[in-house]
Amino acid sequence: MDNGNGTAATCLRRPHVAMMPTPGIGHLMPLAELAKLLVDRYGFSITIITLAVSASKAQAALLSSLPPDIFSLALAPVPFHDLPPDAHIVTTMSIAIVRSLPDLRDALSRLRSSTNLVAFVTDLFGTDAFPVARELGVPPYIFFPSNLLTLSLFLHLPELDATATCEYRDLPVPLRLPGCVPIPGRDVLHPLQDRSNDAYRWTVHHGRRYREAEGILVNSFEAMEPEAAKILRQHEPGRPPVHLVAPLTQSGTAEADEGLECMRWLDQQPPGSVLFVSFGSRGTLSTAQMAELALGLELSGQRFLWVVRSPSDCGDSSEAYFTVQSKEDPFRFLPTGFVDRTREVGLLVPSWAPQVAVLNHAATGGFLSHCGWNSTLEGVQAGVAMVAWPLYAEQRQNAVLLADGARIALRLRAAEGGLVPREEVGRVVRELMEGDKGKVARRRVAELREAAARGLKEGGLAYKALDEVANKWKTTN
């Protein structure tokens, strides 16, 4: 293979890594950042292998923006006609991997013969590809795009499955994992909340296979979860070594030019005065909850920049990884008069904003977030304290970690029925931006920001953790 930067013989000698993210742009983004580091710092070349079900404009744009030594390869489509319409995303992703294995085997075989293929890396739901990699003599690794709390849960799932006698939401006491903040049962990972669902069985299945990996690279860092890091770094027979390589996030440099309206508006606001409100690329609220959020922001009296998306009960779904989002005008779902009443203190933008640039702007003083892990790390690197508003996946666990463990977020209390009322939104937003608890969260997130930056510098903990893995791969025959 000739990548344009040298002869084919040179390329054959360079260490090459195959990476396969499971569907979802949030899975691809941190893996792409890892790929860039391996290319820039260690001279690797990379092939990112994608599943047909994950194809999207966002994915295509991200892949096309990567350096020339990072290639991409799409596997052929597989059928899903036999899955029920309400199949959970974990089930769909897992079956997509299993049915793509013959095509993956062919792709890895070609890479094995045309490159110096030293490792195969997949993420949290890709473990059924391990036997294919091993069959071809390629050591398999996991890139875990979330935190140590969630990784610890995956590693303990087989024994939890064998010993639990009720649904997690019905646990009488919080779930306690070694070194981790206790998790109330209702906040445990969403796919585990119904033991009769295929998603539960698939998640336990993947947890069991984690121990077959040669190593696990985790997008978290020691200062965020010090006790869990201490435990998971220790050698445990039968468990792969754990390497904390975070934070791996996008720089956001290119995005800033596309969000000039946001940036110009922020330029006119006082330092630390704006609450950024965003629920990620897939997060949506119901129409009723969207109204309560809007009126709560108004009640708070704080400045805000809100990325408004059409509500979930107009066609969007918080877990619709594989569907096109609603084309409805999201502003029409806001309460009557809200836009005019808040015009002097708020900016509403439809569907998207340059998140990294917004978080790093001097005017931004808080982040109302769905607690997705990529967004969380971006907030930490910007030194912005948060209001935790989790929606799905592992986000409720993340909210517990951020509020009770890392102490960088404030949580909202939902009323009976699950709706967060406007009064609660107003109260917590004011507390974050003006209150004593907000001051504590800001002080703590500033400490984590510094720790994250130190870890990424040469000689830092994350830098050395990736060094260890890369050097091992370089010596792989």
Pairing of strands 409-411, 45-50: unpaired
pLDDT at 304: 98
Query: Tokens for 234?
Result: 């220790």
* Greater model confidence, 33 or 321: 33
Q: Whose CA is closest to 365, among 431, 448, 293, 414?
A: 431
**Does 282 score more than 80 pLDDT?**
yes
Q: Which of 69, 103, 123, 128 is catalytic?
A: 123
DSSP 365: E
| pLDDT at residue 117 is higher than 60 | yes
Q: Which of 351-355, 396-400, 440-444 has the lowest mean pLDDT?
A: 351-355
Coil/strand/helix, residue 285: coil
Residue 4 to residue 56: CA distance in whole angstroms: 27
- The DSSP code for 173 is S
All structural domains of the chain, each given as residue ranges with its CATH number in brackets, are: 8-250+454-474 (3.40.50.2000), 253-452 (3.40.50.2000)
Give yes or no for residue 40 having a pLDDT over 60: yes
Share of the chain above pLDDT 90, in %: 88
Return the C-alpha torsion angle 322, 328, 331, 335, nearest 10.
-100
Choice among 27, 190, 243, 370 that is catalytic: 27
Mean pLDDT of the region 93-121:
98
Q: What pLDDT, in 10s, does the model give residues 16-35?
A: 999 999 998 999 999 999 99
Dihedral sign (CA 227, 232, 233, 234): positive
Alpha-helical runs (H) found in 115-241: 130-135, 148-163, 198-209, 226-233
The pLDDT of residue 256 is above 90: no
Which positions ≥6 away from 357 have C-beta within 8 Å?
Answer: 252, 253, 255, 256, 259, 262, 263
**For the chain, what is the radius of gyration of the CA atoms?**
22
The pLDDT tens digits for 76-106 are: 999 999 999 999 999 999 999 999 999 999 9
- Among the residue ranges 20-24, 256-260, 263-267, 409-413, the one predicted with the least confidence is 256-260
Please classify residue 447 by burial: count the beta carbons closer than 10 Å to its beta carbon, then call 0-12 exposed, 13-18 middle and 19+ buried: middle
Are 21 and 50 contacting, i.e. CB atoms less than 8 angstroms apart?
yes
227-249 average pLDDT score: 95
Instruction: Give pLDDT, residue 235.
Output: 86
> What pLDDT score was predicted for residue 8?
42
Tell me which residue has tokens 């940036």.
Answer: 263
Q: In this structure, what token pair is assigned to residue 476?
A: 């792989």
81 is catalytic: no
- Residue 198 pLDDT greater than 80, yes or no: yes
pLDDT in tens, 420-431: 999 999 999 999
CA distance 381 to 43: 26
State the pLDDT at residue 328: 76
What's the mean pLDDT in 43-68? 96
If pLDDT is split at 50, 70 and 90, which confidence band does 477 have? low
Rounded to two decimals, the pTM is 0.94
25-42 and 373-382 helices, crossing angle to 10°? 50
- 3-state secondary structure at position 111: helix
Pair of tokens at residue 242: 């754990």
Distance, in Å, from the CA atom of 261 to the CA atom of 158, rounded to the nearest integer, reads 50
Computed over every residue of the chain, the mean pLDDT equals: 93
3-class state of residue 303 by DSSP: strand
Cβ atoms 15, 116 nearer than 8 A: yes
